[in-house]
Amino acid sequence: MRKNTKLAAGFASVTALTLGLTACGTSSDPASSKDQAGSADKALVVAASPTPHADILKFVQDNLAAKEGLKLEVKEFTDYVLPNTATQNGQVDANFFQHKPYLDDFNAKNKTTIVPVVDVHLEPLGVYSKSVKSLKDIKAGQTIAVPNDTTNEGRALHLLADNGLITLKDGVGTDAKLSDITDKKGLEFKELEAATVPRALNDVDAAVINGNYAIEADLSPAKDALVLEKGEGNPYANLLAVKKGNEGDPRVAKLAKLLNSPEVKKYIEDTYKGSVTPAFGAAE
């Protein structure tokens, strides 16, 4: 039986989540995690964004997990904070929703100790618009919405700079911010939480949208984006992560193996048709 719970940001408090998961006795609770070997027969609880992360996990859950003797429970979150908080606090065993630059930034700002396990896929960031049909139609005086979290805003600004819409300071890294723009070319910018950017498309001239949120908004990155990030050499592969010290959990090892399997590669390619691409390998 599939276990799947969607938790909207702002709806489920951390306290309520803690109580709920304590009642379930997850392997990360103090009472049930005396040793990782003893947790091998318990369900691995993984926090994930709905699309494509939870969808990929559900494919594993329904088609591959039983053969590996893995019990898998997927809990959906619609924001970029609670999955890491829940992982750090032991309310879930692992998470699958983020890339390494975001994880590094989150750990630094929140003093968390979450570590990557394995890379799984890339969701190309894209520029979308309902009012213009190409980048050359974006003119001075128009407004572009961008994600407001540190790494995704920097990623968005680099995409805009790479395509000639703005100019950034020389040498600025993945944490670029609006103040690092040296030439806005007359454009205005609206900073929004990443999950809400697609809903702003009717109110701005263009928007830089994360791949998962584009798909959730019924946009096809491969078809609808005015431009997409290039995959080659891209550091933004989405990864499976755990709290430091839990890398040796045999259930985590089983899930990592399945997430990098030929079956998952085919599922990603067949399901997302270039809007999400496999990016397998050990996370660094």
Q: Distances from the Cα of 140 to the Cαs of 28, 43, 206, in angstroms?
A: 52, 54, 12
| Residue 270 CA to its chain's centroid (Å) | 20
Closest of 252, 192, 263, 197 to residue 70, by C-alpha: 252
pLDDT attached to residue 233: 75
Rounded Cα distance between 241 and 88, Å, is 10
pLDDT attached to residue 36: 53
Rounded Cα distance between 63 and 171, Å, is 46
Mean pLDDT, range 67-77, rounded to an integer: 97
Q: Where are the alpha helices (DSSP H) in 148-220?
A: 150-162, 211-216
| Residue 158 CA to its chain's centroid (Å) | 18
Res. 252: pLDDT tops 80: yes
CB-based contacts of 2: which residues, under 8 Å, 6+ apart? 58, 61, 62, 74
Rounded Cα distance between 163 and 208, Å, is 12
235, 173 in Cβ contact below 8 A? no
Instruction: Indicate the pLDDT class of residue 151, thresholds 50, 70 and 90.
Output: confident
Rounded Cα distance between 91 and 24, Å, is 10
Reading phi first (left if > 0) and then psi (alpha if -120 to 50, else beta), residue 83 is in alpha
pLDDT attached to residue 35: 52
Q: Distances from the Cα of 123 to the Cαs of 45, 178, 238, in angstroms?
A: 23, 23, 8
3-state SS, residue 213: helix
Res. 199: pLDDT tops 50: yes
243, 113 in Cβ contact below 8 A? yes
| Residue 149 CA to its chain's centroid (Å) | 12
Instruction: Indicate the pLDDT class of residue 283, thresholds 50, 70 and 90.
Output: confident
| Residue 187 CA to its chain's centroid (Å) | 28
Mean pLDDT of the chain: 87
The pLDDT > 90 percentage for the chain reads 75
